[in-house]
Copies of this chain bind each other. A is one copy, B any other.
Amino acid sequence: MKTHIAGSDATSIRLRGHDLVEELIGEHGFTEVFYLLTCGRLPTPTETRVLDACLVTLMDHGWTPTSLIARLAYDSAPSQVQVGIAAGLLAVGDVFAGTMDGCARLLAEGIAAPDRAAWCQATAAAHRAERRPIPGFGHPFHKPDDPRPPKLFRVAEKAGVKGDHIALLRGLGQAVDAIYGRHLTINATGAIAALLLEIGIPVGIMRGVAVVSRSAGLAGHIVEEQQARHAREVWRLAEEHIPYEDPPV
């Protein structure tokens, strides 16, 4: 049994077949080496630009369970920055930030369909009939449209992706609007699923891209928490607005 991720001896450290000091530090950026570690080879410039855009997109968008948790946990163990960040990352789960896998699985199915247009129609119709939400569509706040997907598509196209998955997602969006009789926005999760498929990120680790990205956002929140005591205010708000009451008998 061997690991092919990383190893070291007295004089060198190797990552996925590359010498860390000679070939990676100062020679390739963080995004490239992240791609190397998850995909097993260094990325092309196209792949790097697309992954970078996805990482920037998911870093933060304000108060969310991840940032609230990170602040509260950090405030409880202020010498332990890693505890705040790790606690927050536990909320990159099935409900919020960790949800691109659903759309990615759907798109991976559609890309393999013999007739993609027919697949878009059938998929939209099936979700409608079963009243199931379509992964990658809809947003509670960004209406009528999530502003991120158009930019992500532009960046990916300019970077030179083949574009099949993006086209499929757009096609699905048109089918959704037609069949639902109203406009449902493609959301950032959906767009990122399409982009990560374009550059060959395995579906099983896509949530990891969200985790890496969000870890950087949470570091920012902890810097602010070191100056302003927002966690204590969140606590106070909960006590004031959700008070205790004896249970009804």
Q: What residues of chain A have their CB less than 8 Å away from a CB belonging to chain B?
A: 1-17, 20-22, 24-26, 28-31, 33-34, 37-38, 40, 49, 52-53, 55-57, 59-69, 72-73, 75-83, 85-87, 89-96, 98, 141-143, 145, 147-148, 151-152, 154-155, 158, 202, 204-205, 207-213, 215-224, 226, 228, 230-231, 233-235, 237-239, 241-247, 249
In the assembly, what is the distance between CA of A2 and CA of B74, in Å? 19
Give 15 new A-B contacts, CB below 8 A, not counting A7-B243, A24-B56, A29-B56. Answer: A5-B67, A5-B224, A8-B62, A10-B143, A26-B155, A33-B216, A34-B220, A38-B216, A63-B238, A69-B87, A76-B95, A80-B94, A81-B208, A82-B92, A212-B212
| Chain A interface, DSSP helix/strand/loop, else mixed | helix
Cross-chain contact A77 with B59 (CB below 8 angstroms) = no
Chain B, residue nearest A70 (CB): B69
Residues of B within 8 A of A11 (CB): 142, 145, 147
User: In angstroms, how far is the closest chain B Cβ from the Cβ of A235?
Assistant: 6
In the assembly, what is the distance between CA of A153 and CA of B112, in Å? 49
Residues of B within 8 A of A69 (CB): 69, 72-73, 87
In the assembly, what is the distance between CA of A73 and CA of B33, in Å? 24
Chain B, residue nearest A4 (CB): B247
5 A–B contacts from the bound complex (CB under 8 Å): A1-B230, A13-B148, A20-B56, A76-B91, A82-B98
Given known contacts A91-B73, A247-B16, is B33 in contact with A56 (CB within 8 Å)?
A: yes
Residues of B within 8 A of A5 (CB): 60, 62, 67, 217, 220-221, 224, 244
